[in-house]
Amino acid sequence: MGSRFFARRLGQAILTILFVLVVNFILFRSLPGSPERILLRGTRISAQALENQRDKWGLNDPLLPIDLRIDDQGIRLVDFPASLTDNQLVAYVESLAQLDLGLSFQFRGRAVADVISEKLPPTLLLFGIGEAIAIVIGFGLGALAGWRRGRPSDYVGTSVSLVLYSMPYFWLGMILLIIFAATLRWFPTTGMVTPGADFASPVEHVIDVARHLVLPATTVALGLIGQYSLLMRSAVTEVLAEDYVQTARAKGLKGDRILRDHVLPNAMLPAVTLVAINLGYIVAGAITVEQVFSWPGLGTLTVDALRTRDYPMMSGVFLVLSISVVLANLVADMIYGVLDPRVRT
Amino acid sequence: MTGEVAAQVFTRRARGERWRIRARQLRGILRQFARQRSGVLGVLIIALFTICALVPDLLVGPFESVTRASGEKFDSPSPTHILGTDELGRDVLNLVVHGARISMAIGLMATIITVAIGAVIGIVAGFNGGRLDTILMRITDFFLILPTFVLALVLAPVLRELLGEGSEFFGIRVTLLVIIVVIGITSWASTARIIRSQTLSIRERAYIDRARAIGASSGHIMRRHILPNVLSLIVANTVLVFAGSVLTETTLSFVGLGDQLAPSWGQILAFAQSSGAPGIGAWWYTASPGIAIVLVVLSFTLVGHALDSILNPKLAGRR
């Protein structure tokens, strides 16, 4: 019973990832202008040489492992499998399995996978810290608001959360930048380290990065706090209506013990899952906050790729972000399944 | 013959009665809504921005393009330029008021697409059940889990390339059209989920069986019996989706997918960012479009919640 739940979740995640691969494949193959034209841009070559190039890059192989014929009789499946090995989709998945995401246009032929793995740590640092702050403060505020539903503190907390929730992340970042970096000059405006700085010790280096980190991490945290506190508030409200809370009250337990022992543990679970589910939305914020502060992470990379029409890079970032979000969801589901056997149906 | 006439009279009367009932319901809803202070505040703010979107020329004069800039660059707020000027000397108030039209029009059209896709998929999946339901819900889950914003980012340039940059469809510039379509394609999933769950419960009601017994087709039942009953859910959801669409549009424009010749609020913020306004402390340039965005998104959220608590009181406990 239990293992079937886990197997099904795993199957769904794998299916989703396969779907991502196919969408990604079709999307970028449907671009006008074939890859060899981009690679050989501007050079005069004969039709025969072009044909040889197409053969070499495997562009003459069928796109999909199915042979579809589209004519006046509609779309017909002619042959399946057309050829399981000699088609572009399978070749694509094979190279992905070897972590080959293709070559970047913008970085003059550097491997996309290399560039992405280089930009990943700054993003993880920024979002790890921002996310941690947001979970502590957001859940705290939300629990308080839910517990004191209808009282002034709920009203204030919910209003603040709603306003934060309505703000574009990057705008919040721009405002913080104007106040604390441009006007008060407490923190540097852009980047992750002071350019050209010569650090006497690793400690100084860490302090410099930390100073650069304050504003972007605060932006991320503030952007998420609104969302998280609204989630927690509704989770607490829901739990408060449960019979066992009524029982606890009837037993004469004190308010804060009911909250700590009966409400929070039960509200925490759905709230944490919702955080995982919302990861997909957070990515949007990630991209723009990095852009505002020129943080050298995946977000800035994505925007640069967009600007320079670096399609292999965009496709690579899309894959990496999608697959990580799917995996995060899978992990959250599994943890939920372990902690709360009721969902394993 | 007389029977037929009688039947016609009866139908007409029944129809009149139905409208009277609807009008009464609507009055009741309005009365309840008027009691929700935050909802009323939201409506007032939305009305203000709608006026900006409809007649920007009357309020602040014609749109200031690069050649029609009326001031010096980066002027701070003064009586002539209440919200200061941008890096080209354009009046920021002028830009923001004109931006209302672009932002809200894109938001509206994207919302219509989103809700239409979501409602159709939700009703069809919920009503038919079985394998169709399973397939549709798998696709829905796919869009729910994925970082749809990244999908939008990837989809937008591809669509632009395919449609041809600079072209127009139905008088809408292709850059704006792509944003509308991309938001629509990527954000319908939660609407579909909500509508489906309501459809599942309506499907079990007796009047659906009765309609089927007198020979109504599935299409007819979905249109005439399911749709009216999920309409209240759709209305409340539409208002909330609008808030999300405006935010998504803002973000997409900010990362460089907007239309520079028809700047939305997000595009104005993108101009501000690329001109370095935050770094030199030009707060008026950054703050003004942002406040407009926050006010509009917040108002739609408040109205959406207010409508939800009136139209779907059974679900209100969830919030």
Residue B113 has a pLDDT of 94
Q: Give per-residue burial for B51-74: e unless 16+ CB within 10 Å, then b.
A: ebbeebeeebeebbeeeebebeeb
| Partner residue facing B150 (CB), from A163, A168, A283 | A283
Cross-chain CB nearest to A166 (options B148, B254, B297): B297
pLDDT tier, A84 (very low <50, low <70, confident <90, very high otherwise):
low
Partner A contacted by B157 (CB < 8 A): yes
A306 pLDDT above the threshold of 80: yes
Q: What is the CA radius of gyration of chain B?
A: 23
Instruction: Give me the mean pLDDT over the A25-48 stretch.
Output: 64
Measured CA angle at A344 (ends A231, A277), to 5 deg: 30
Tell the residue number behind the tokens 């280096």, with chain if given: A205
Contact between residue A171 and residue A191 where contact means Cβ atoms under 8 Å apart? no
Q: What percent of chain A has pLDDT over 70?
A: 81
SS3 content of chain B, % helix, strand, coil (to 5): 80, 0, 20
| Chain B CA closest to residue A318 | B150
The more confident residue out of B64 and B216 is B216
Nearest CA in chain A to B279: A182
The pLDDT assigned to B319 comes to: 39
Q: Which residues of B touch A326 (CB under 8 A)?
A: 145-146
pLDDT higher at A296 or B161: A296
Does the CB of B47 have a partner CB in chain A at under 8 Å?
Answer: no
Partner-chain contact B279 A177, CB within 8 Å: yes
- Kindly state the average pLDDT of the residues A33-42: 56
* 3-class DSSP assignment, residue B83: coil
In DSSP terms, which residues pair with B169 in a beta bridge? B172
Q: Hey, is A241 helix, strand or coil? A: coil
> Cα dihedral sign for A26, B113, A276, A120?
positive
**Percent of chain B scored above 90 by pLDDT?**
18
pLDDT band, very low/low/confident/very high, at A38 (cuts 50, 70, 90): low
Alpha helices in B55-129 (DSSP H): 56-60, 92-128
> Can you name the residues that pair with B168 across neighbouring β-strands?
B173
* pLDDT tens digits, B223-270: 888 888 888 888 888 998 999 899 999 999 988 888 888 888 989 888
Mean pLDDT of A229-257: 82
pLDDT tens profile A116-160: 888 888 888 888 898 889 989 988 888 888 888 778 878 888 888
Question: Does residue B232 or residue B87 have the better pLDDT?
Answer: B232
| Residue B119 or residue A237, greater confidence | B119
Mean residue pLDDT across chain A:
78
Lowest-confidence pick of A204-208, B66-70, B114-118, B278-282: B66-70
Burial class (CB in 10 A: 0-12, 13-18, 19+), A246: exposed
Omega before residue B228 within 30° of 0, cis: no
pLDDT at B164 over 90: no
Q: Are B232 and B267 contacting, i.e. CB atoms less than 8 angstroms apart?
A: no
Instruction: Out of A12, A23, A178, name the one closest to residue B281 (CB).
Output: A178
Under 8 Å between Cβ of A180 and A215: yes
Q: Does B294 touch chain A (CB under 8 A)?
A: yes
**How far is the C-alpha of A84 from the C-alpha of A257, rounded, in Å?**
63
The predicted model gives A60-66 an average pLDDT of 64
Q: Which of A27-31, B45-49, B157-161 has the highest mean pLDDT?
A: B45-49
Chain B hits for A12, Cβ within 8 Å:
138, 141
Give the single-character DSSP code of A297: T
CB-based contact, B163 to chain A, within 8 Å: no
- Show the tokens assigned to A302: 């994505």
Could you say which of A181, A288, A329 has the minimum Cβ distance to residue B254?
A288
Residue linked to tokens 């706090």: A225
- Rounded percentage of chain B residues whose pLDDT exceeds 70: 94
B272 interface with A at CB cutoff 8 Å: yes
Distance CA B10, CA B2 (A): 12
**pLDDT computed for residue B298 by the predictor:** 92
The overall average pLDDT reported for chain B is 84
User: In terms of pLDDT, which residue wins out, A173 or B77?
Assistant: A173
Residue B145 has its nearest CB partner, among A23, A170, A326, at: A326
CA quadruple A220, A223, A228, A233: dihedral, nearest 10: 150
Tell me: pLDDT of B316 over 60.
no
Greater confidence (A85 vs A159) lies with A159
Residue B317 pLDDT:
44
Q: How far apart are CA B247 and CA B266, in angstroms?
A: 9
Give the pair of three-digit tokens for residue B276: 């370095």
Q: What single DSSP character describes residue A97?
A: H
Contact A16 B162 (CB under 8 A): no
Query: Does B280 sit within 8 Å of A182, measured CB to CB?
Result: yes
What domains can you pick out in chain B, each with its CATH number?
36-318 (1.10.3720.10)
Q: How many CB atoms lie within 10 A of CB A117?
A: 12
Does the pLDDT of residue B1 top 60, yes or no? no
Residue A260 has pLDDT above 60, yes or no: yes
Q: pLDDT at residue B9 above 80?
A: no
- Please, what is the Cα angle at B313 between A138 and B41, to 5 degrees? 65
Of the listed ranges B69-83, B96-110, B206-220, the one predicted with least confidence: B69-83
d(CA A11, CA B229) in angstroms, rounded, equals 36
Least CB-CB distance to A325: which of B146, B161, B272? B146
Residue A179: pLDDT above 90? no
- Which residue has better confidence, A29 or A67? A29
pLDDT value for B17? 79
Per-residue pLDDT, averaged over A253-269, amounts to 79
Q: Model confidence over B27-81: pLDDT tens digits?
A: 888 888 888 888 888 899 999 989 888 888 887 778 777 777 677 777 777 777 7
Instruction: Look at the block and give the residue holding tokens 């302090």.
Output: A207
Q: What is the mean pLDDT of residues B179-199?
A: 90
Interface contact B62, partner A, CB < 8 A: no
Nearest-angstrom CA–CA distance, B21 and A216: 55
The answer to whether the CB atoms of A182 and B273 lie below 8 A apart is no
Largest CA distance in chain A: 89
The reported pLDDT for the residue numbered A60 is 65
- Among residues A284, A278, A281, the alpha carbon closest in space to that of A332 is found at A278
Does A166 sit within 8 Å of B290, measured CB to CB? no
A321 vs A313: CA distance, rounded Å: 12
Q: What is the mean pLDDT of the segment spanning A312-333?
A: 85
| Whether pLDDT at A206 is above 60 | yes
